[in-house]
Amino acid sequence: MQIHELKPKHKNRDKKRVGRGGKKGTYSGKGNKGQSSRAGRKMVPIIRELIKRYPKLRGYRRFVLKDFSVVVSLDVLEKNSKNGEIINPENLIKNGIVRMIKGKVPKIKILGSGKLTKPLTVENCKVSKSAKDAIEKAGGIIK
């Protein structure tokens, strides 16, 4: 005898179709309406202790710090600034190059895309390596 020659000992029984009338009554073995179907029910959760512990767990209410930073390229500084001008967040806002973000002065990073020919003084700004080289090459200062 091999495995493909085996046959089941009992015949498969059809699944009972419940809730379609018959001798089992109106609910047909499915049960009656109970506490969970009533208005204003108050069932104590079995996992109450877990639920109470959730706020203390690591990662609960995970949040991302908003990044209030703006990128400014050397091309924009070249167009909108004069020789020897001081570049800082307040002056950039005053000149209309950068906007306030939610009423706060944003952090500014200067990137080295483009060319710079004017000597500028940069204060309170992050500066990329290529932008630093370009500013110093044009005779500017980074504080």
Asked whether residue 116 is domain-assigned, the answer is yes
For residue 15, count CB atoms less than 10 angstroms from its CB and return exposed for 0-12, middle for 13-18, buried for 19 or more: exposed
- In total, the chain counts a number of residues equal to 143
Evaluate whether residue 39 is within a structural domain. no
- Rounded to an integer, what distance in angstroms lies between the CA atom of residue 29 and that of residue 19? 8
Average pLDDT over residues 127-131: 95
In a domain, 41, yes or no: no
Task: Give the domain range for residue 118.
Answer: 69-142
Helix (H, G, I), strand (E, B) or coil at 72: strand
Q: Residue 27: inside a domain, yes or no?
A: no
Q: Between residues 29 and 58, which one has the greater pLDDT?
A: 58
CB neighbours (10 Å) of residue 48? Answer: 9
The residue among 111, 141, 105 whose CA lies nearest residue 126 is: 111
Structure confidence by residue, pLDDT tens digits, 75-125: 999 999 999 999 999 999 999 999 998 898 999 999 999 999 999 999 999
Tokens of 120: 């500028």
Residue 136, pLDDT > 80, answer yes
